[in-house]
Amino acid sequence: MEGWVISLLGLLFSIAVAIVTYVATIVTVKNKTEQNNKDIDDLKKLHIKNIDEVRETSRRHNTSDEALHSKFFEKLDIMNETITEHKTKLANAPTMEQVRVEFVSKEMFKQMEKHIDEKFDKLESGIEKILNKLDNGG
């Protein structure tokens, strides 16, 4: 009987060790699962924080990009206005041929005026001579 009791005690001890091992395994797995869940939650929070930082940085960049684009296009508009002004001035400016024709016509007018003045001066002096001879009798 003693052998039988010892075998039964050995069996009970083995069952107790198995139950303790099983409970220890369940507790360990539960703790590890809780730790993993906590790590996952921390990573999710970190990921959300990183996404928020990226969004904020993106928003700031968009704002600065809009300001740069605004200044760029404002400068471009000013340059376009300047180009338009210069094109208008260039279109309204006389050509070299027009300047030449105007100069020649003014020069011809001056020469013609001089020529006519000379003719009138000669005519006047001729009339004076005739009048003097008529006055002097002869």
Q: How far is Cα of residue 10 from the mean position of the Cα atoms in its chain?
A: 86
Q: What is the mean pLDDT of residues 118-124?
A: 86
Q: Is it the case that residue 133 has pLDDT exceeding 80?
A: yes
pLDDT mean over 48-77:
87
Give 40-92 as a DSSP string: HHHHHHHHHHHHHHHHHHHHHHHHHHHHHHHHHHHHHHHHHHHHHHHHHHHHH
> What is the pLDDT, as a whole number, of residue 59?
87
- Per-residue pLDDT tens for 79-113? 999 999 998 988 888 888 887 888 888 888 888 88
- Report domain extents, the chain: 1-93, 95-138
| pLDDT for residue 138 | 55
How does residue 24 score in pLDDT terms, banded at 50, 70 and 90? very high
pLDDT at 18 > cutoff 90: yes
pLDDT score recorded for residue 1: 55
pTM: predicted TM-score of the whole model, two decimal places:
0.40
User: For residue 124, which of 136, 112, 135, 116 has the smallest C-alpha distance?
Assistant: 116
User: Are the CB atoms for 75 and 83 separated by under 8 Å?
Assistant: no
